[in-house]
Amino acid sequence: MVCIGNICRSPMAEYILKNKIKHKQLNWHIASAGVENYHIGEGAYPIALKVAASYNIDMQSHRASHFTQNDFDKYDKIYAFADDVYHRIIAQIRNEKDKLKVDYFLNEANPSSNASVTDPWYHDEDMYHAVFQQIDEVCDIILEKYKD
């Protein structure tokens, strides 16, 4: 799960999906990162933490990390949360195998839409709830699609 700074959207997705796979007892490794490095080591944004907690998702242990080429070796799927993020990830691909791992997160719900998840950073708490719910729905789709 990759967004800009790894403190709002991608950590919400990481922890939502981690919660879902825990209940399904799946052995998946889920992580998130940002394409910018200005929040490395910071926790999730306070409003994101508050909203996640309101849905019983604990993100207190999150620490922002930076997306690197090594992530292509660690993960089977790499989801971009926005167009600019997608292009920053694609700029780091080394081969066709890397490229096949990258997709827009919302393409799981609306194939080939290449739509972005709204960045709630610039909005009020209501937008964080809307983004959380959208991410939750897409995580359900991912879980159903890849659970076997």
| Type of residue found at 126 | D
Enclosing domain of residue 123: 2-146
Q: Which residue has the tokens 């207190």?
A: 60
Number of folded domains that form the chain = 1
Q: What is the CATH number of the domain that holds 14?
A: 3.40.50.2300
Write the pLDDT tens digit of every residue in 78-135: 999 999 999 999 999 999 999 999 999 999 999 999 999 999 998 999 999 999 999 9
- Per-residue pLDDT at 16 exceeds 90: yes
- How many other CB atoms are found less than 10 A from the CB of residue 94? 10
pLDDT confidence tier of residue 148, bands split at 50, 70 and 90: confident
CA-to-CA dists, residue 59 to 71, 76, 87, 123, angstroms:
21, 23, 27, 20
This prediction has a pTM of 0.96
